[in-house]
Structure 1
Amino acid sequence: MIEVTVTDKQPLTASICRLQLAAADGSALPAWQAGAHIDVHLPNGIIRQYSLCGALNSNSCYEIAILNEPDGRGGSKYIHNDLQQGDRLTISAPKNLFPLVPGTNNTLLIAAGIGITPILAMAEQLHADEQPFELHFCARDQQHAAYYERIAQSGYASHCQFHFSLGNSQNRLNPHQLLADYNKDTQLYICGPNPFIQDVISAAEQHGWPTANIHREFFAAEAIDHSQDQSFEVVINSTGQVLEVGKDVSILNVLEDNGMFIPVACEEGVCGTCITGLLEGEADHKDVFLSADEKQKMDQITPCCSRAKSKRLVLDL
């Protein structure tokens, strides 16, 4: 873990603020690549994940942007209302679960709202590497588009198209039109609200995009339906221990109650931190992190939220 100081806090839009973080002891921060995020441990006990979107070649400061979600679970509200410049936080080293595929011929980047944060870093990385790409940024209007000026004044502005929908429905992104014709070497990256991501993925699949070429990152999970949950057993493969998972508790809670602690952050199936190998059984996948193909393989599970369709799961623990 890394102790950092909030060296700057500024509004980007009416609902998005930017934080700059430097190591509290003045040391260099770990290097990172486009698509990476950090876990931010807030003083109120909440842990949240935020994409890094500052200068890629800087190890003196990290930059993150946070959307204020009044109806959320309290993390963004604390940052917007209570966190001040000069405050200290604990963060993780950068993790990259949304990396650029190296050596591709073309890249299509699509972002909506706060989803611009990892996509922005990707655009700047691709521009620095002189790789061809397009960036499509969807927002209500210019005032709600975080980092608008940074993009508009960049050396890659000609690669970017803004889709401002307020008062101009004709300017909305049409994913079917955009994705109808594509080069099979093109890699697609999407980030934004869940319905937006699902719409773009659905359009891509309908137009024959290979699943391996579609990359997405969710910022929050949809409400998970646990109304049909039933009890089941998990087996710890290394010891043979059998644990009962009641219908009202998670696999993660049962593991922790029995002294087994695995890395965890979001606890809602978004970040992938807690992914655990699945050796036997049929999982009831409730996360948004794993792709449809990954879920079908039945060889891993997110114990924070997913459950079992079979009577027993054997975990690679």
Structure 2
Amino acid sequence: MAAPRIIMKLTVTAIRKEPGDVLVIDLKHPRKPLLPPFEPGSHVDVHLADGKVRQYSLCGDPGDLSRYTIAVKFEQTGRGGSSWIHQTVCPGFTLPVSAPRNHFPLGKSGGPALLLAGGIGITPILAMARALERRGRRYELHYFTRARALTPLLSEIQSALDPANVRLHFDDEPETRQDLQTLLSTRSSDPQLYYCGPPGFRAAVDRASAHWPAGTVHFEAFQPPEHDAAPPEPFTITLRDGTSVPVAADTTALAALRGAGVLLMASCENGVCGTCECGMLEGQPIHRDAVLTRQARDSRFIPCVSRAKGVLRLDL
């Protein structure tokens, strides 16, 4: 079970509107000069007034702990969190924010890094690029968006990063386009690949990097992947002590486990944050999360969204 997360009441000190319906929000502690440290790739939980929780990557400089910076894109077809933030949050507003957590860590090796971002997926990637520049480590950032005029954080990228390391790709500028299959077809100097973006972008990168060796591809998602429309089927979870927990077709594994007295923390309950992640010992899972790597899916399970066929034995 995940450890409880610290919740801080942070003050919104600055807001600016970026292209692409994105708000960039600076958060500071009202009394302490420094916030808890974070590694590039980290995210925070933002607790909304209606009890909802949303995850946002920290896109600021990991070396500047005087503030946290998040970027929130307005999603018309979203679940309401971005709409509430865009309509409600202003300078001086107080937001309950968790201590940072990292499911998308930047490796410690000295090898080169290939960073790919699609749209608002630039947020964790920008923090990574800042850290890599500070460490003097080789990297190449490719940023894909629909149009230059709709590209959030572009001015910050151009001012904070070495332009020799940045490649910008706009759908409406043919001379800047880059085919992912071509980009990822060959590997030199054993790079590590990090990518983030909307579901279609992630799926394209996943296909193009399928031949990369295990352990060299890393990603983060803000939305779970789309799945077929087949109705869910009931299955059974078996715990370490032999207890059987039935999961009905209209119930999540997380809800069934909680109903059986298993205390599992959760946050997004949408398969993107990993808070409820647990070990898996045996069975045929149906993974529906956007957190676990290909390798982790052999032994880990996200019960808020994932299901199984038959009997699934969990390490709980």
Which TM-score bucket, shorter chain as reference?
over 0.9
Q: Which moved more, 1:224-233 or 1:67-76?
A: 224-233
TM alignment of 1:39-188, pairs within 5 A:
39-166=45-172, 168-183=173-188, 185-188=190-193
The offset of 1:117, in angstroms, is 0.5
C-alpha change, 1:68 and 1:152, in structure 2 (3 Å) is same
C-alpha change, 1:268 and 1:184, in structure 2 (3 Å) is farther
Partner SS for 1:38: strand
Alpha-carbon contact 1:104-1:185 (below 8 Å) kept:
no
- Counterpart code for 1:190: Y
Partner SS for 1:80: helix
Q: Aligned residue for 2:196?
A: 191
Q: Tell me how large the CA RMSD over aligned residues is.
A: 1.7
Partner SS for 1:70: coil
Q: Aligned residue for 2:313?
A: 314
- Counterpart code for 1:233: T
Partner SS for 2:160: coil
Q: Aligned residue for 1:21?
A: 27
Q: Which moved more, 1:90-99 or 1:253-262?
A: 253-262
Q: How many Å separate the matches in 2 of 1:23 and 1:241?
A: 45
Q: 1:22-57: per-residue Cα shift (whole Å, max 9, x none)?
A: 123335210011111111111121111111011211
Q: 1:245-299: per-residue Cα shift (whole Å, max 9, x none)?
A: 111000111122233331212212222221111123221212222223332x2x2
C-alpha change, 1:77 and 1:125, in structure 2 (3 Å) is same
Alpha-carbon contact 2:20-2:152 (below 8 Å) kept:
no
Q: Aligned residue for 1:293?
A: 295
Alpha-carbon contact 1:184-1:209 (below 8 Å) kept:
no
Q: Aligned residue for 1:233?
A: 236
Partner SS for 1:202: helix
Q: How many Å separate the matches in 2 of 1:157 and 1:274?
A: 39
Q: 1:208-255: per-residue Cα shift (whole Å, max 9, x none)?
A: 3213111111111134446342222222324x3322211100011112
Q: Aligned residue for 2:209?
A: 204
Aligned residues: 310
Q: How many Å separate the matches in 2 of 1:181 and 1:277?
A: 34
Q: How many Å separate the matches in 2 of 1:282 and 1:249?
A: 18
Candidates 221, 226, 233, aligned match of 2:224: 221
TM (norm. structure 1) is 0.92
The offset of 1:155, in angstroms, is 4.5
Q: How many Å separate the matches in 1 of 2:153 and 2:309?
A: 44
Structure 1 segments of 4+ aligned residues over 4 angstroms from their partners: none
Alpha-carbon contact 2:129-2:161 (below 8 Å) kept:
no
C-alpha change, 1:271 and 1:258, in structure 2 (3 Å) is same
The answer to whether residue 311 in structure 2 is matched with residue 303 in structure 1 is no
5+ residue gaps in structure 2?
1-6
Alpha-carbon contact 2:111-2:189 (below 8 Å) kept:
no
Partner SS for 1:212: coil
- Counterpart code for 1:246: A
- Counterpart code for 1:217: E
Alpha-carbon contact 2:224-2:288 (below 8 Å) kept:
no
C-alpha change, 1:14 and 1:203, in structure 2 (3 Å) is closer
TM alignment of 1:222-261, pairs within 5 A:
222-225=225-228, 227-238=230-241, 240-261=242-263
Q: How many Å separate the matches in 1 of 2:9 and 2:252?
A: 31
Q: How many Å separate the matches in 1 of 2:168 and 2:49?
A: 37
Q: Which moved more, 1:215-224 or 1:243-252?
A: 215-224
Q: How many Å separate the matches in 2 of 1:105 and 1:277?
A: 31
Alpha-carbon contact 1:19-1:63 (below 8 Å) kept:
yes
Alpha-carbon contact 1:235-1:314 (below 8 Å) kept:
yes
Partner SS for 1:114: helix
Alpha-carbon contact 2:130-2:161 (below 8 Å) kept:
no
Partner SS for 1:91: strand
Alpha-carbon contact 1:267-1:305 (below 8 Å) kept:
yes
TM (norm. structure 2) is 0.93
- Counterpart code for 2:44: I
